[in-house]
Chain A
């Protein structure tokens, strides 16, 4: 199926930047993580996501969450660092360093969690 799709070489395409942010891309101020010769940490300084391909966690039980790439209650707290689910979990590194005080055991205390909405 993919063979029928004509590949587009983005680097030699005629795309032109129309604002300052796009121009920065042309000036190579932003690098992709796949650029092997450039050691740039784009998101977090150290952490599993920058080393590790996400999505390997599985749930072999017939209960939710079923399938891959699902943050579950069991690893919710630990993923609050520089880790897998930065959008779904509070940022325990910088903005919510003591969020664990709201729910020490997430599986049973998750209703207490209000790191984004102040009561």
Chain B
């Protein structure tokens, strides 16, 4: 009888001191990886074989096949402070792009030299920085393009398209730094990157303007940006699009299901456990995972948002990603 291999979904929830690995079939924690750190953000490699998670100063490389930390990338020295804003894995899984702020000090001079923010290109195999570029302030998200290895998208005060060959960048969507102060500004929080199963290339985040909630869509296939006006205003930390590109699921104090093409609310549920940061959806589009915020994740039926179960975690966290393997 031939062996049948099929992909399974797992949730990697990076919390304080513990990375929880959850089997999406049983909705139970099947493994825990321990470290001594608070984790600010994470991102799976595009092939799902590694999970990179970072605190404010260093990056952990987790092999998702062995489920163990295989490397820790530290950048600080006795005279250099290194602050990480975000990381992103290149499309070929060979490099990390790191948004950073570097502060240098001389031991005999009581002054700090804060360099302009840097984008670091880090070679994972060689475990060293290979390039650095000056970038705008407060880049909280780096997004790779699926068919263009020469450019990446940076999200901070505005949205920029960055050229990895020349170091030049241009604004492709104004959010807050409008030239005319009367122009509409959008309040947006670039922090969580909740990837859709199968990676259809559409990345979504909530944004807020004077007329309410907008869904900011970044097409990673052609770097086009569009906005959909939400029918109702919900406060959301992050969103995820289902694999069929029909619905957006957003989360904060409520879990909300929204039609992707017109922003109409399908249904919403108050999260009785409290505030959640991240949201993920299974590859079959049937279950939605919301959390963590505190030390739990709640599982919902993606169709009607009925609560199915609560997965207790060992510690508080902010980050969760689905990895299919």
From residue 271 to 325 of chain B, which have CB atoms closer than 8 A to chain A?
Answer: 272, 274-277, 293-295, 313-318
A-B contact count (CB 8 A): 127
Which of the segments A4-12, A16-24, A74-82 contacts the partner chain? Answer: A74-82
Interface residues contributed by chain B, number (CB under 8 Å): 53
Partner of B294, one of A45, A56, A82, A105: A105
Given known pairs A57-B235, A61-B270, A105-B316, the reply for A52 and B295 (CB within 8 Å) is no
A45→B83 contact, CB < 8 A:
yes
Residues of B within 8 A of A76 (CB): 316
Interface residues contributed by chain A, number (CB under 8 Å): 38
From residue 136 to 153 of chain B, which have CB atoms closer than 8 A to chain A?
Answer: 136-140
Compute how far the CA of A45 lies from the CA of B117 in the bound complex, rounded to whole angstroms.
8
A104→B316 contact, CB < 8 A:
yes
Given known pairs A48-B140, A52-B189, the reply for A100 and B315 (CB within 8 Å) is yes
Within 8 Å of chain A (Cβ to Cβ): is B208?
yes
Given known pairs A51-B138, A60-B270, A75-B275, the reply for A101 and B17 (CB within 8 Å) is yes
B117→A100 contact, CB < 8 A:
no
Residues of A within 8 A of B254 (CB): 60
Within 8 Å of chain B (Cβ to Cβ): is A114?
no
Known A-B contacts: A41-B137, A104-B17. Give 10 more (CB < 8 A): A48-B140, A57-B252, A60-B254, A61-B253, A61-B270, A73-B274, A78-B317, A78-B318, A82-B83, A105-B315
Compute how far the CA of A32 lies from the CA of B112 in the bound complex, rounded to whole angstroms.
20
Within 8 Å of chain B (Cβ to Cβ): is A112?
no
Given known pairs A60-B270, A77-B16, the reply for A46 and B314 (CB within 8 Å) is no
Compute how far the CA of A50 lies from the CA of B138 in the bound complex, rounded to whole angstroms.
7
Residues of A within 8 A of B195 (CB): none
A45→B101 contact, CB < 8 A:
yes
Compute how far the CA of A43 lies from the CA of B308 in the bound complex, rounded to whole angstroms.
43
Within 8 Å of chain B (Cβ to Cβ): is A69?
no
Given known pairs A41-B138, A60-B253, A105-B316, the reply for A48 and B191 (CB within 8 Å) is yes
Shortest distance between the CB of B20 and any CB in chain A (Å)? 12
Partner of B83, one of A36, A46, A52, A106: A46
Partner-A contacts on B (CB < 8 A): 15-18, 36-38, 40, 55-57, 83, 85, 99, 101, 103, 114, 117, 136-140, 156-157, 176-177, 181, 187-191, 208, 235, 252-254, 270, 272, 274-277, 293-295, 313-318
B56→A81 contact, CB < 8 A:
yes
Compute how far the CA of A50 lies from the CA of B36 in the bound complex, rounded to whole angstroms.
27
Encode A68-98 as 1/0 by CB contact (under 8 A) with B.
Answer: 0000111111101110000000001100011
A77→B83 contact, CB < 8 A:
no
Compute how far the CA of A59 lies from the CA of B176 in the bound complex, rounded to whole angstroms.
26
Within 8 Å of chain B (Cβ to Cβ): is A26?
no
A51→B314 contact, CB < 8 A:
no
A104→B156 contact, CB < 8 A:
no
Compute how far the CA of A98 lies from the CA of B16 in the bound complex, rounded to whole angstroms.
9
Can you give 13 A-B contacts (C-beta < 8 A)? Answer: A36-B181, A46-B117, A47-B138, A57-B275, A58-B253, A60-B253, A74-B293, A81-B38, A81-B40, A100-B315, A104-B15, A106-B294, A107-B295
